[in-house]
Amino acid sequence: MNKLALLVKDEEGMTLVELLAVIVILSIVAAIGGVAITGVIQRSREDARVADVNMLYEAAQLAEASDSYISGKPNKEATAADLQTQGYSTTINFIEAAARPNVKFKMIGGGATADKLVVTIPEKAIKAGSKTNVLISEKGAEFIKSLTRVTLFATGTPTPSGQ
């Protein structure tokens, strides 16, 4: 017998059971990976919204520091839309359209104490994937700087450390 015939005769392929086992294992790995990737994507969306809130608060601080834009108004209050219109903020698209007039920055205090810039963001004004924000009511710089995705998208009123 020639060598080619011997090689072909001893050749064995994968059985159906082995092929099915490989497919099942690959399916399990793909399912676990899909769930993990979904969680990473959701957390990154939430982190982006936290950064957006910080950016918007810094835009309000800039507006106040540069020309007393907020404290110069009759009610010492400005909305996120006002900040965008005046060019202090480049975008407010992360805020739901119906909630934009209710996202307010206000100067409080005065008299013996220095004015303090606070922000109010109504509940469900900001979406990150499947989650919406909790109510943020008249919170200052310390609160905003310590804001995390856990406190912004938690259940109830957020209370990060330092506030």
Q: How confident is the model over 134-160, as pLDDT tens digits? A: 999 999 999 999 999 999 998 545 555
- In this prediction, residue 159 carries a pLDDT of 53
Confidence of residue 5 (pLDDT cuts 50, 70, 90): low
Confidence of residue 1 (pLDDT cuts 50, 70, 90): low
Q: Is 7 exposed, middle or buried (0-12, 13-18, 19+ CB in 10 A)?
A: exposed
Q: How confident is the model over 29-55, as pLDDT tens digits? A: 999 998 889 889 999 999 999 999 999
Angle at alpha carbon of residue 92, lines to 87 and 95, rounded to 5°: 155
Closest CA to 109 of 53, 158, 67, 64: 64
Give the global pTM.
Answer: 0.76
Cα distance between residue 130 and residue 54, in whole Å: 21
Cα distance between residue 12 and residue 14, in whole Å: 7
